[in-house]
Amino acid sequence: MENCIFCKIANGEIPAATLYEDEDFRVILDLGPASKGHALILPKSHAANIYELSDELAAKAMILAKKMAVKMTEALKCDGFNIVQNNGETAGQTVFHFHMHLIPRYTGDGVGLTWTPGTLTDEIKEEILTKMNA
Ligand code: 5GP
Ligand code: ZN
């Protein structure tokens, strides 16, 4: 992808603070961090979102996310850890090259990743189960 900033960063054409690199991925520090150590897992090959990501890279990305969570938690002494992955503008995606957010959490950090819980009604539950099993 010619004009994709994350393709350029992942492949080393634009420098970024790199926490980890292998043949498939680069993990970089986010320039607008939600918390200290907020990082992004970027595949080196372009996929706009999870729908375009290969099964192979999806599996590898999850394993890498786990490894990074363990290493970062030890190194940064954080108290918790969020892994966030946005798909589509409606879901908050702003860079359209698949990435996973690694967000170390610190007690009292005020990072807002929460929502107001609704209620699962029987009607909605049945509707969703019908649609998903169609
Ligand atoms: P999204 O909203 O698409 O899930 O997340 C995009 C993330 O990329 C944001 O957290 C934003 O701060 C980060 N970001 C955008 N451009 C750059 C950049 O050029 N370099 C780095 N390191 N992070 C970026
Ligand atoms: Zn890209």
Instruction: Encode pLDDT of 16-47 as tens digits.
Output: 999 999 999 999 999 999 999 999 999 999 99
Check residue 93 and give its pLDDT: 98
131 CA to middle of ligand 1, Å? Answer: 34
What residue ranges in the chain does DSSP mark as E strands?
18-21, 25-29, 39-43, 80-84, 100-105
Check residue 130 and give its pLDDT: 98
Cα maximum dimension of the chain: 52
In this predicted structure, the answer to whether residue 88 has a pLDDT above a threshold of 90 is yes
The amino acid occupying position 65 is A
Residue located via tokens 């992942």? 10
Compute the mean pLDDT over every residue in the chain, rounded to the nearest whole number. 97
Check residue 26 and give its pLDDT: 98
> Ligand 1 within 6 A of 7 CB?
no
Q: For residue 66, give the H/E element and its range.
A: helix 55-76
In this predicted structure, the answer to whether residue 117 has a pLDDT above a threshold of 80 is yes
With 0.85 as the threshold, say if the pTM is over it: yes
